[in-house]
Amino acid sequence: MKIIKSVHSYHNFEGTVRRKNRFFYDTEIEDFLQTILETSKSRLETIPKDAVLWRSQLGHDWEPQYEEDVYMGDWPCPFRIARMKPMAYAAYEGRANPKGIPYLYLSTDKNTSMAEVRPWIGSYISLGQFKLLKDVTLVNCTSDAKKHMIYFEEPADPNEREIAVWGEIDGAFSKPVTPDESVADYIPTQILAEFFKKNGFDGIAYRSSLGKGHNIALFDLNAADLIAPYMKRKKFYLILNNLQIPILYRNIIQIRSPKLRI
């Protein structure tokens, strides 16, 4: 059984793939990836089919409003169904996905989902509930460590080294994506995500640094879909002075998300 050799293993991996070798790895990096795969087996979570998750997008569409057949103007409405999923052949860099290869980013609760798009005061958010179309097996990157430790020497206990390294991985995935980051900042987490994908997992779960819930990145865009192809199944909020105000009241159906273990 492989064990993590050093509490600095993720840091060394990150430095190598960002600044030295990005696509072809030496023996040390290959060994690190295989060790992460081995230790991930205790972190697997299966989320059942029909579980409900959340996805937010900044912005909205418009729809005409009528009163007694009199056109009253266009009013804001949630994005259309197609807009609530990433385009299959176009994607920006993400914490888990490389440019051009989209993943479906979801959250375990609506407040975390909305926080992840970082709305400004007065902005509109289209918020959709997505239902899993199959059981999905995720690598839960969440660490139980409450804070990062500083090590002046290697701990003898391999479990302590494993906790430290997975804590670094958790922090790397949880770090919010910012416009001023370079593409190289995403490389380490993108490599880990694709490595998990290559080994047959459906996605990853990681802690949100902006909300109380967790984020989930699914590798297959078709693993989840909007609960129903009707606008009434989507929630739409106006964020004003930090209050979430529903602006479309008709046909809104409240559907409670099941508790997830992660």
pLDDT one-digit tens code per residue, 171-212: 899 887 666 666 678 899 999 999 999 999 999 999 888 878
The verdict on residue 35 lying in a domain is yes
The winner for highest mean pLDDT among 93-107, 143-157, 169-183, 232-246 is: 93-107
Q: Would you tell me how many other CB atoms lie within 10 Å of the CB of residue 238?
A: 17
The backbone torsions φ and ψ at residue 233, rounded to the nearest 5 degrees and listed phi first, read -85, 0
The verdict on residue 255 lying in a domain is no
Count CA atoms within 13 Å of residue 259 on its CB side: 1
Checking if the pLDDT of 219 tops 80, the result is: yes
Checking if the pLDDT of 247 tops 50, the result is: no
The verdict on residue 252 lying in a domain is no
The verdict on residue 2 lying in a domain is no
Mean pLDDT of 142-155: 64
pLDDT of residue 34: 93
- Tell me which of 20 and 89 has the higher pLDDT: 20
Both tokens of 76, joined, read: 């804001």
Could you list the residue range(s) of the whole structural domain that residue 241 is in?
A: 9-246
What's the whole-model pTM score?
Answer: 0.79
The verdict on residue 254 lying in a domain is no
pLDDT of residue 244: 45
Q: Are 44 and 125 in contact (CB under 8 A)?
A: no
Checking if the pLDDT of 146 tops 60, the result is: no
The verdict on residue 18 lying in a domain is yes
Closest CA to 185 of 204, 171, 206: 171
The backbone torsions φ and ψ at residue 154, rounded to the nearest 5 degrees and listed phi first, read -70, 130
How many domains does one find in the chain?
1
pLDDT of residue 193: 96
What's the pLDDT tens digit per position in 45-98? 999 999 999 988 888 788 888 888 888 888 777 777 777 888 777 778 888 998
Checking if the pLDDT of 32 tops 70, the result is: yes
- Which of 4-13, 32-41, 192-201 is predicted with the least confidence, judged by mean pLDDT? 4-13
Looking up tokens 């273990």 gives 261
Mean pLDDT for the chain overall: 78
**H-run or E-run covering 164:** helix 158-174
Q: Where are the beta strands (DSSP E) in the chain?
A: 44-47, 52-58, 61-67, 70-77, 104-107, 124-132, 136-140, 203-207, 214-218, 224-226, 234-240, 243-246
pLDDT category at 35 given cuts 50, 70, 90 is very high
Query: Which neighbouring-strand residues pair with 130?
Result: 53, 226
Please tell me whether residue 110 adopts helix, strand or coil conformation. Answer: helix
Q: Would you tell me how many other CB atoms lie within 10 Å of the CB of residue 203?
A: 25
- Helix 187-198 vs helix 27-40: angle between axes, to the nearest 10 degrees? 60
Checking if the pLDDT of 230 tops 50, the result is: no
Query: Rounded CA gap, 45 and 162, in Å?
Result: 18
Looking up tokens 């057949």 gives 69
The 3-state DSSP composition of the chain as helix, strand, coil percent (nearest 5) reads 30, 25, 45
The verdict on residue 85 lying in a domain is yes
- Tell me which of 206 and 5 has the higher pLDDT: 206
